[in-house]
Every structure is written in C-alpha cells, then in structure tokens.
Chain A
C-alpha cells in the first residue's frame, strides 16, 4: 500500500517550486514570447530529459538555452555541428604534452551543464552517436578513463526543418533518446514589435543567476515524488498503446498511417514530463490535463509515419490529436 502523504507533498512542492515563477520571470526578461518553449525547457530541466528543438533560424532557440544557463548559474557550451566535426571535437581527446612527456586528457565541450547542439543533423552519424551515447549514459570515456558528466546535464539539440540538403537526419533510435521535441514557432505581432524595440533601443536585459545547480538537483528529487495515481498510469499506457495498435481504441483508420508507435521509453518520458508539468503548476499529483499538456512534445518524434500518411500530408500532431480524442480519460 502506497503511503504518500499528499498534503505534506503538496506543501513541499509549493515550497520547492517557488523558483519556477522567478525563473520564468527572469527568462521572460530576455526572451519575448515563446512561453511554450520556456515551459518545455523547464520541463526538460526538471524531468532530467534532453530536448530536441525544431524551428526556423532566428527564433531565439540559442538565446533561450543561453538564458536558462545564465539563470541557473551553470556552465553552458554551444557546439555547432558541421559535416567535418569529429567525435573527439565533442567528447574530448588525449593530447601529448611535451612538457610532461605524457598524454593528457583534453575534455571536450560536452563537459558542461547545458549543451546546445546546434544543427545536430549537419554532422555525420558517428558524431551524433557519440553525443547521443553521452546523453544516455551521462558519462564519457576518453582513453582509459571514464568521466561523469556534470549535474544537471541537459542537451538541447536544434535542427532546421527546411534545409535538408547535405544533412544527416537523426535515426529513429537516437531521436527516441530526446525526452521532448519542441517545435518553435514564430512570435506574435505584438511580441515581435517588442523584440525590435528591445534590440534597437539598447534595452537588452541580461538574465541574473537565481538558481544553483544543486537547487535543480533537489527539485528533480521532488519531481520524482509527485504522486501519480494508477488511473493516470493506465491513461499514459493507453495513449502510448494507441500509437502502436490504434485499432484497439476504435482508431482503425490510423492503422495504415502509423509505421511504428511509441516505445516504453515514450511511456516513461510521458510520465516524467507529466510529473514535471504538475510540479510547474505547483501540484503534488498528476491529473489527466498534465498528461495532455506534454503529450505532443513527448510523442511527436516517436511516431513513425507511413508513406501513405506523408502523401496525405498527415502529421504526427494530427495522429496524436486523434488519439487524445479517442482514449478515455480516467
């Protein structure tokens, strides 16, 4: 029998999540609009999941992650993925020191709390694999030595949806390692006017560090404790199962449109992201709304479409909407 004291947990969460508003405010000083992006960055940060950002150039993807790193007072590195990049350029390598006449370890840019892997699909598979392995294992081996990556460790990879020439699309198995795929959209008219004003007027503010990495580690522990009822677990499993066998949920029409559905990692990610979302909303328990709120970001890159679906311009978002509207809410 689970002996969770929800009242106590709610109080703890109220206390521990107080930084959420501060962090949001600090980020909003620099990032105009993009609330959805900021919210998902926090979900990834709290749920300990990496994020794949997809959006047109100039939508403040780099600025957002840079600001987040500044707010958390953590180390931030940006790696521009190019076709001639090598795994050693990311992870680090052994270099010979003439002074000591020994090989010394030179750690790569991956040794930071926040990594922006810019245009990840521009590098060949071996570099992508090196990064994605590090993301999964949270450690890197250089020569004979294995190094743990710092905590918190969050990778934000970006990819451009329009230029496909000379790119190396991420394989499905590797895309699955990103907890969330966030699609960054254009700002609204009013927001864009404010962006112009901020940039031209010189009133460009800088985010102040308000959190330490230890605060994030502590918040992550609390997020893990967010209560998830069996009914919610069943709801999550139903949603993920509906991506695999839609016909069992009265969605026979989707059967020929889905090449493959979400993996068990999708269920885990959906549960963790829902908990993080509940935490952001200052709740000690998950409700179906939390699951729905993160459903698109967790599942959109985990559902494979068939040629038939692509021919009919059906997107994974359409599939997810159909599933959400068909699966019974507890």
Chain B
C-alpha cells in the first residue's frame, strides 16, 4: 500500500513539474500600469513570473530607446514575493515614457531560467502596444499665457541668522572703536561716562572763583596767583576765539585779539593785567595790594563782557 501511494505521489510530482514546464513555454502576458498615456507620462511595463525556489531568472537589459519613440527611464527592477512553499512570484518592472503621440509596439522579452549554471527553461513575455495621446488644443478658446517669472523661494531663518550675527558683531566693533577714540580724546577709560563740557565762560569763571578761594597772594604766592589767572584767561580766549594762546607771548596774544577788533574798557584793563602778570612772573615785581585785589575782578569782567558779546552775535545770526 505504501509503495502504491509513493508511486502515485511521484507521478503527481512529475505531472506538476511537467505542467510548470509546459506553462513556461507559453506566452507570458506583460503587465502595464496603463496602456494609454499622455505625452510625457510615465508607465510601468513588466511582467510577473512564477518560478521554483532553486531557479534564478535572467532578462536581457532593455536598450534606450526601447523602440523608436519610447524612452527608457529606468531599467528592470525585480521584486520577489513568496507565494507558495517552494515557488516565488517575481515582479519585474521598467519605467518608460514617450514624448510623441502615437501607437508604439513594445517587443517580446525573453526570460531565462537557470538552475545553477544550467539553462533549464525560457519564458517569452508577450508584445504589447502602448498608446500615447496628446492634449487636444482647442483653437477656438485658446488663450496664450505669458511666460511665468522665476519662482522666489521664501528666505529661511537659517539663511538670515548668520548674516544678522555678522552685522551685530561689526556694529559692536564699530561702536567700541568709536568709544575708544572718543574716550581717548577726552582722556577717559573705555567705559567712562560721557563728560558734559561747560561753556568756556562758565569754566573760566569757576576757575577764577577757585583761584580767589585759594588766597594765593595773601599767602605771598603772587607768581602762582598771576600765573593761574593768566592761564585761565588764555584758556578762555583759546576756547572763545579759537586762537592758540599757550604758544604765544603776551604781546602776540594782544596783537591777535586786537586784530579781531576786541576793544572796550574791559579789554584795556585786561591788557594792564597781562602787563602786571608778566612783571610778577618774569621780573620779581611785587604787585600792590590794590593790583592783586583788582586782578580777578578784571578777569571776570573781561569774561562776562566777551560772553555777552558772543550771545548778542548769536542772537543776531538767528
């Protein structure tokens, strides 16, 4: 009985192999995602083949163009699906397109079955026709459009941020350099607070008041007293009239100011003060008490008088 059953199984298996072999010699229908496409559309073209586990398949590479008018976009790709115990379905697909309308004949493809290195069978994939259609142009309602301009992509933050960073660094450096130069001019440290400068007459009057407070001539420091007064007046003249005074002698300062048409009793008094100051500074002259007492008021009167003139000039100039 067992022997009988074994014979039956052998016969059935032989029939199965024979059936497969017979079926492999038949035409295998090709697969198409679509058989009619518009110009430029892409379509998958291929076949599905059922092969035993120990068999490998071989297909000739497709040429480009596949046929005149049909372009190959990508060659065959194979996808293996296990369907039965010892058989596989293999999907093979190529992508093709056409840029011209018409009917194209896609030729047969041959699939070779190898068992090891031995060619055991061949299968032919049937030929197909690919219809390529075009878009009909409605000449009655056709309207021509202008060419579209280049597309502007929106700028992303990632592109902008580095430039913003660079700009901030440059600005910060510029500000630091500006402060450094300005503070160096004003003899201040880099982060020192900005000093508000008083107008020349205020500075001069304050200095003169300080000199008065020091009581220099009362303490027999006449030379220092007159030096400080004349230096204050020189500083004031330099700031008020933009005349360099510290590098000039008294006679030169007088000449320069008279060329600026400075006159009046205050100016005459100041000239006298300069004369007395020169005598005290360079000739060991002992000024009288009256001269010493008059010195600061004379300087103050000159500052006030010239300051008022300046205000009037500014008012006249609008």
Contacts of B247 in A (CB 8 A): 324-329
- Bitwise interface map of A from 72 to 89 toward B, beta carbon under 8 Å scored 1, else 0: 000000000000000000
**B248 and A229 form a contact (CB under 8 A):** no
Chain A count of residues within 8 A CB distance of the other chain: 23
> Distance in Å from the Cβ of B243 to the closest Cβ of chain A?
13
Contacts of A328 in B (CB 8 A): 246-247
**B249 and A4 form a contact (CB under 8 A):** no
B175 adjacent to chain A (CB < 8 Å): no
Q: In the docked arrangement, what's the CA distance between A229 and B284, Å?
A: 8
Taking a contact as CB atoms closer than 8 A, the residue among A231, A284, A287 that contacts B249 in the complex is A287
Contacts of B246 in A (CB 8 A): 328-329
> Distance in Å from the Cβ of A271 to the closest Cβ of chain B?
13
- Bitwise interface map of A from 278 to 307 toward B, beta carbon under 8 Å scored 1, else 0: 000001111111001000000000000000
> Distance in Å from the Cβ of A330 to the closest Cβ of chain B?
7
Q: In the docked arrangement, what's the CA distance between A4 and B282, Å?
A: 12
Contacts known (A327-B247, A328-B247); A287 close to B278, Cβ less than 8 A: yes
Chain B count of residues within 8 A CB distance of the other chain: 14
A314 adjacent to chain B (CB < 8 Å): no
Q: Which of B225-249 contact A (CB under 8 A)?
A: 227, 244, 246-249
Contacts of A284 in B (CB 8 A): 283
> Distance in Å from the Cβ of B249 to the closest Cβ of chain A?
5
**B284 and A6 form a contact (CB under 8 A):** yes
- Bitwise interface map of B from 270 to 311 toward A, beta carbon under 8 Å scored 1, else 0: 000000001001111100000000000000000000000000
**A4 and B248 form a contact (CB under 8 A):** no
Q: Which of A216-272 contact B (CB under 8 A)?
A: 227, 229, 231-232
- Bitwise interface map of B from 14 to 26 toward A, beta carbon under 8 Å scored 1, else 0: 0000000000000
Q: In the docked arrangement, what's the CA distance between A285 and B246, Å?
A: 21
Q: Which of B254-282 contact A (CB under 8 A)?
A: 278, 281-282
Per DSSP, are chain B's interface residues mostly helix, strand or loop, or mixed?
loop
**B251 and A231 form a contact (CB under 8 A):** no
Q: In the docked arrangement, what's the CA distance between A227 and B282, Å?
A: 8
Taking a contact as CB atoms closer than 8 A, the residue among B251, B278, B283 that contacts A227 in the complex is B283
**A287 and B282 form a contact (CB under 8 A):** yes
Contacts known (A328-B246, A328-B247, A329-B248); A231 close to B283, Cβ less than 8 A: no
Q: In the docked arrangement, what's the CA distance between A284 and B251, Å?
A: 18
Taking a contact as CB atoms closer than 8 A, the residue among B244, B249, B250, B283 that contacts A6 in the complex is B283
Q: In the docked arrangement, what's the CA distance between A285 and B278, Å?
A: 10
Q: Which of A1-46 contact B (CB under 8 A)?
A: 2, 4, 6, 10
> Distance in Å from the Cβ of B282 to the closest Cβ of chain A?
5
Instruction: List the A residue with the shortest CB-CB distance to B244.
Output: A325
Q: In the docked arrangement, what's the CA distance between A6 and B281, Å?
A: 12
Contacts of A4 in B (CB 8 A): 284
Taking a contact as CB atoms closer than 8 A, the residue among B227, B251, B285 that contacts A289 in the complex is B251
Q: In the docked arrangement, what's the CA distance between A289 and B274, Å?
A: 14
Contacts known (A287-B249, A325-B247); A6 close to B285, Cβ less than 8 A: yes
Contacts of A229 in B (CB 8 A): 281-284
Supplied contacts A287-B282, A289-B249, 15 more A-B pairs, CB within 8 Å: A2-B284, A6-B283, A6-B284, A6-B285, A227-B284, A229-B282, A229-B283, A232-B282, A286-B282, A287-B278, A325-B247, A329-B246, A329-B247, A329-B248, A330-B281
The residues of B with any CB-CB pair to A shorter than 8 Å are 227, 244, 246-251, 278, 281-285
A-B residue pairs in contact (CB < 8 Å), sample of 29: A2-B284, A4-B284, A6-B283, A6-B284, A6-B285, A10-B283, A227-B282, A229-B281, A229-B282, A229-B283, A229-B284, A231-B281, A231-B282, A283-B283, A285-B283, A286-B282, A287-B250, A287-B278, A288-B282, A289-B250, A289-B251, A292-B249, A325-B247, A327-B247, A329-B246, A329-B247, A329-B248, A329-B249, A330-B227
The residues of A with any CB-CB pair to B shorter than 8 Å are 2, 4, 6, 10, 227, 229, 231-232, 283-289, 292, 324-330
